[in-house]
Amino acid sequence: MKEKVIIQICMGSSCFSRGNNKTLEVIRHYLDEHQLSGDVVLKGNHCFGDCSKGPVVKINDHIHEEIDRENILELLQKTFNT
Binding residues for ligand FES, rule: CB under 6 A, are 10, 12, 14-15, 47-51, 54, 56
26 Cβ contact list (under 8 Å, min separation 6): 69, 72, 73
66 Cα distance to chain centroid: 11
Instruction: For residues 45 and 78, give the distance between their C-alpha atoms in angstroms, rounded to a whole number.
Output: 22
Q: Which of 50, 48, 30 is nearest to 40 (CA)?
A: 30
Nearest approach in angstroms of CB 34 to ligand FES is: 26
Give the residue nearest to ligand FES (CB).
12
Nearer to ligand FES, 31 or 57 (CB): 57
Q: Give the residue with the Cβ less far from ligand FES, 12 or 40.
A: 12
- For the CB of residue 63, give the shortest distance to ligand FES in the complex, in Å: 9
Name which of 16 and 30 has its Cβ closer to ligand FES: 16
Decide: 22 and 9 in contact? Cβ < 8 Å: no
